[in-house]
Amino acid sequence: MVSSRQERIEQAKHDWQENRFEQVPEEKEFIPLPEDAFTANDNQLDEVQPL
């Protein structure tokens, strides 16, 4: 999932926690979000480098 819209990123976090994404074929393990995923502030977005 790729998005620059903060509201879409937040929705994706919630969707991930609720297991709403399709499972990756042949993957058995669910990897949870880091505990601090919901405490990120807007300044952290400025640190992301473009691809």
| Whether the predicted model's global pTM rises above the 0.85 cut | no
pLDDT of residue 38: 74
In a domain, 46, yes or no: yes
In a domain, 24, yes or no: no
Domains held by the chain: number: 1
- Cβ neighbors of 19 (< 8 A, separation 6 or more) are 30
pLDDT of residue 51: 61
pLDDT of residue 26: 93
In a domain, 49, yes or no: yes
Q: Which domain holds residue 48?
A: 1-19+30-51
In a domain, 42, yes or no: yes
Tens-place pLDDT, residues 1-51: 788 899 998 999 999 889 898 888 999 888 888 877 777 555 555 555 556
pLDDT of residue 25: 92
Q: What would the two tokens of residue 3 be?
A: 């998005």
Burial class of residue 10, CB neighbours in 10 A (0-12, 13-18, 19+):
middle
* Closest alpha carbon to 38 in 8, 13, 12: 13
In a domain, 25, yes or no: no
